[in-house]
Amino acid sequence: MLDGDLTSKDVGALRSTTELMEREWSPCRHACPVHADVRGYVELIARGRWQDAIDLIRTALPFAAVCGRICHHPCETNCRRHEVDQPVAVRELKRFVAELQGAKGSPVHKAKSQDKAKVAVIGAGPSGMSAALELAKLGYRPTIFEKFPIGGGIPATAIPKYRLPADVIQMDVEWILAHGVEMQTGVEIGKDKTIDDLRKEGFKAILVAVGLAKSRTLPLPGSDHKRVLTVMDFLTALSFDRKPDIGKNVLVIGGGNVAVDAARSAVRLGAEKVQMMCLENEEEMPAWSWEQRESLEEGISFIHRRGPVEIVVKDGKIVGMKARKVTRVFDESHRFSPAYDDSDVIEVACDSVIIAIGQMSDNGFAQGSDVTIDERGRLAYTPATQQTNAPDVFACGEVVTGPGSAVEACASGQRVAKAVDLYLSGKAIAIDDAIPETFGKIDEKTAEKITKTTRVEVPTDSAEQRKRVFAEFEHTLDEAAVLSEARRCMSCGSGAEVIVDKCAACLTCLRVCPFDIPKVTDVARIESSLCQACGMCIAECPANAIVSRGWDTNEVVRETAGALAGMGTNGRKKIVAYVCGHHAPANAWSGSLEDGAPGVAELYLPSMSRLGTNHMLKAFESGADGVIVVASEIGGDRYPGATERIRKRVQQVKDLLGEAGLSPEQVQLVEAANQGRAAMREAMAEAAEKISAC
């Protein structure tokens, strides 16, 4: 036996598919800063189980709705479907279920009691609120102090509404508060009360999560003009529906995503010309590629490799910006170290300037406290423990990590909550950051066998439609598109694994696998990084020697028994219909199928490849009088050969029923093209009549 082979004893020790999956993560989960179970929630979405999906998402990502809009989606960047066609639109799927369920539709998991110590959190952004949530779940009593009148941090106070509407942010804020987190808005620590005041009020630990809410600026001649705005002041004014004073010809200094937000907002405020000037060239520019593309579509132009020298003011008005040539941005070690050619200076016409060269923390919270701010203006802290120089004061988020994304801020908040818990429990702070390994790209030969599908396009307004209004311009996918896109997921790493001491090396798995993954010598072995999780080998193994790493093979049996028990006795024959997930309506898993056939319990599977003869026979043992199998037409299932294989399994069950003296017609196969619910229902009704006639 080789290292890593799974024995029946191992299966007993690994009591759940979750434990099997924890041994190795798919690349999408591995790349996610909060390590959300991407494969798991996409599978739930593919089955129409909206609430289960958002529940699984929020176990790792409190700001699910926010990240459904603005996440930089490293999960998609690392999606192995890149090797097949296009990555799965994970962010759009998350957005759909998060906003569909809202705050009230997302399950809340409160602690049985919150009788542990009081913890103060300074700042209501993603990092602070994520930390407060984790502490509340552990039984602590967190209170968030926020200087603005609303919670949500930078997403609420500086991200333009065309990217992130206010009501979307509040979905996440309300859901977090529902866990027993208190929030006091309009309270600025360092001004309205100090860190020492918080200690006197009984807070045993204090968490600084103030983010980077203050703009960096440039000491340029002319920078004191009223139409020279710093980017955070500019964006914050817009968030609170105040209109900053800008002219018709706006120049934004900076090349990052925040600078892009400012430029695109200036367009929406009515500026006739908007330019962005940055040190970097097109490849070096830090703004996301899609932000750059959309800016160009909206008429914004870029001035690359120029550094500002002087804001030119004549007769009290800004008329231009002098800028020198940039010869390099980074040195040989790729450290930021710009160099200039002072002999090459141009003047760019403009009447307003927005400086967006970076952000810094507002250290006002430290006023009158023992917390140290270093000579560079940064909060001193120890990354290993998340503590500042004051042992009871912790820090997380961008105030200590530097600029990042909302999802990275959530991860930082979750980490600091562990540190605070250890501290308040009287234990040494040692945070285990180890995570399971992942696996690489799909083998080229395997990729060739996977059915190619087209990624759904997000409905988007044209540049002309969107550039004069602050309304959102990317729209949520509809249910049909969501179901279709979720089913493109290849369930990486959740497929089959052989129990070697039960395997008879019979070659069945090798014969039925559409991807040629099993290798059979003395026993069969299935490489999890290649397996596509179709389940065909599991369904057909005569020795039951193969298990799934990603789903419970007994789930179908339990759901069948539950559905039959719920049908009661009404004089009709009890019929179970196993339906390919491609035919599933959005409400299939909610129990509200108003157009369902009378006396037929409909159970939806991701693919017919996972339905075995044992499942159909178990249905009869559970009290079914008949079974209908609704498969896709050949080539319509997500897995090649699934329809052909289910034909053979249905015939096997028919033969077994005949041998037992029962009518083979008690099992009916319907191969339905994707022609809509009405056509499928008609075909199912005909099959049910045949069973009733037995």
Angle at 280 between CA 275 and CA 286, to 5 degrees: 90
679's enclosing H/E stretch is helix 677-692
Same fold, 1-24+493-553 and 26-106+445-486: no
In order, the DSSP letters of 281-337 are: -TTT--S-HHHHHHHHHTT-EEE-SEEEEEEEEETTEEEEEEEEEEEEEE-TT--EE
Check if the beta carbon of residue 514 is closer than 8 Å to that of residue 499.
Answer: no
Mean pLDDT of the chain: 92
Instruction: State yes or no: pLDDT of 367 exceeds 60.
Output: yes
Q: Are β-strands 182-185 and 228-230 bridged in parallel, bridged antiparallel, or unpaired? A: unpaired
3-class DSSP state for residue 41? helix
C-alpha dihedral, 501 to 504 to 508 to 511, nearest 10°: 90
pLDDT for 592: 41
Question: What are the tens digits of pLDDT across the range 260-319?
Answer: 999 999 999 999 999 999 999 999 999 999 999 999 999 999 999 999 999 999 999 999
Between 501-505, 567-571, 638-642, the lowest mean confidence (pLDDT) is in 567-571
The closest alpha carbon to 419, from 453, 448, 455, 382, belongs to 382
Residue 133: exposed, middle, or buried by beta-carbon count in 10 A (0-12, 13-18, 19+)?
buried
Assign a CATH topology to domain 26-106+445-486. Fumarate Reductase Iron-sulfur Protein; Chain B, domain 2 (1.10.1060)
Check if the beta carbon of residue 574 is closer than 8 Å to that of residue 567.
Answer: yes
pLDDT for 549: 86
pLDDT for 582: 64
Instruction: Please say whether the dihedral angle defined by the alpha carbons of residues 36, 38, 43 and 49, taken in this order, is positive or negative.
Output: positive
Distance, CA of 102 to CA of 511 (rounded, Å) = 46
Distance, CA of 226 to CA of 233 (rounded, Å) = 12
Angle at 156 between CA 203 and CA 468, to 5 degrees: 170
Backbone angles phi, psi at 266, to 5 degrees: -60, -40
What one-character DSSP code corresponds to residue 365?
A: G
pLDDT for 534: 92
pLDDT for 299: 97
User: Which residue type is seen at 41?
Assistant: Y
The count of other CB atoms within 10 Å of the CB of residue 429 is: 18
- Give percent above pLDDT 70 in the chain: 94
What is the length of the chain? Answer: 694
User: Which residue type is seen at 681?
Assistant: R
Instruction: State yes or no: pLDDT of 672 exceeds 80.
Output: no
- Domain spans in the chain, listed from the N-terminal domain onward: 1-24+493-553, 26-106+445-486, 118-211+361-424, 214-359, 555-692
Instruction: State yes or no: pLDDT of 14 exceeds 80.
Output: no
Distances (CA, A) of 376 to 104, 277, 361, 373: 44, 26, 11, 8
Instruction: Please say whether the dihedral angle defined by the alpha carbons of residues 41, 42, 43 and 49, taken in this order, is positive or negative.
Output: positive
Check if the beta carbon of residue 477 is closer than 8 Å to that of residue 92.
Answer: yes
Residue 522: exposed, middle, or buried by beta-carbon count in 10 A (0-12, 13-18, 19+)?
exposed
pLDDT for 587: 47
The closest alpha carbon to 581, from 138, 131, 48, belongs to 48
Distance, CA of 399 to CA of 388 (rounded, Å) = 12
User: Which residue type is seen at 326?
Assistant: V
Angle at 397 between CA 393 and CA 400, to 5 degrees: 70
Q: N- to C-terminal Cα distance for the chain?
A: 51
What one-character DSSP code corresponds to residue 476?
A: P
Distance, CA of 664 to CA of 658 (rounded, Å) = 6
pLDDT for 377: 85
Question: What are the tens digits of pLDDT across the range 427-465?
Answer: 999 999 999 999 888 989 999 999 899 999 999 999 999
Check if the beta carbon of residue 543 is closer than 8 Å to that of residue 571.
Answer: no
CATH of domain 1-24+493-553: 3.30.70.20
Residue 250: exposed, middle, or buried by beta-carbon count in 10 A (0-12, 13-18, 19+)?
buried
Instruction: State yes or no: pLDDT of 151 exceeds 50.
Output: yes
- Give percent above pLDDT 90 in the chain: 79
Please report which confidence band the pLDDT of residue 675 belongs to, taking 50, 70 and 90 as the band edges: low
Q: Left (φ > 0), alpha (ψ -120 to 50) or beta: where does 182 sit?
A: beta
Instruction: State yes or no: pLDDT of 418 exceeds 80.
Output: yes
Residue 306: exposed, middle, or buried by beta-carbon count in 10 A (0-12, 13-18, 19+)?
buried
Architecture of domain 214-359 in CATH? 3-Layer(bba) Sandwich (3.50)
In the block, residue with structure tokens 């120890």: 382
The predicted model gives 355-363 an average pLDDT of 96
The count of other CB atoms within 10 Å of the CB of residue 275 is: 20
398's enclosing H/E stretch is helix 398-401
Check if the beta carbon of residue 308 is closer than 8 Å to that of residue 277.
Answer: yes
Distance, CA of 562 to CA of 176 (rounded, Å) = 34
Check if the beta carbon of residue 684 is closer than 8 Å to that of residue 630.
Answer: yes
Assign a CATH topology to domain 118-211+361-424. FAD/NAD(P)-binding domain (3.50.50)
Question: What are the tens digits of pLDDT across the range 161-198?
Answer: 999 999 999 999 999 999 999 999 999 999 999 999 99
Distance, CA of 286 to CA of 275 (rounded, Å) = 16
Cβ neighbours of residue 7 closer than 8 Å, sequence gap 6 or more: 1, 499, 500, 501
Q: Left (φ > 0), alpha (ψ -120 to 50) or beta: where does 318 sit?
A: beta
User: Which residue type is seen at 532?
Assistant: Q
Distances (CA, A) of 424 to 69, 428, 623: 36, 10, 55
Please report which confidence band the pLDDT of residue 607 belongs to, taking 50, 70 and 90 as the band edges: confident
Cβ neighbours of residue 303 closer than 8 Å, sequence gap 6 or more: 275, 276, 277, 278, 323, 348
Instruction: Retrieve residue 381's tokens.
Output: 């802290």
Instruction: State yes or no: pLDDT of 10 exceeds 70.
Output: no
The closest alpha carbon to 209, from 423, 442, 400, belongs to 400
pLDDT for 423: 98
C-alpha dihedral, 218 to 219 to 225 to 230, nearest 10°: 20
Taking each continuous run of H as one helix and of E as one strand, the counts in the chain are 26, 25
Distance, CA of 241 to CA of 236 (rounded, Å) = 9
The closest alpha carbon to 628, from 689, 569, 673, 581, belongs to 689
The closest alpha carbon to 47, from 553, 668, 484, 599, belongs to 484
Q: Are β-strands 317-330 and 306-314 bridged in parallel, bridged antiparallel, or unpaired? A: antiparallel
672's enclosing H/E stretch is strand 667-672
Please report which confidence band the pLDDT of residue 359 belongs to, taking 50, 70 and 90 as the band edges: very high
Question: What are the tens digits of pLDDT across the range 540-597?
Answer: 999 999 999 888 888 899 999 998 888 866 667 899 999 886 655 544 444 444 455 6
CATH 2.60.40 holds for 555-692: no
Backbone angles phi, psi at 580, to 5 degrees: -60, 135
Question: What are the tens digits of pLDDT across the range 211-266?
Answer: 999 999 999 999 999 999 999 999 999 999 999 999 999 999 999 999 999 999 99
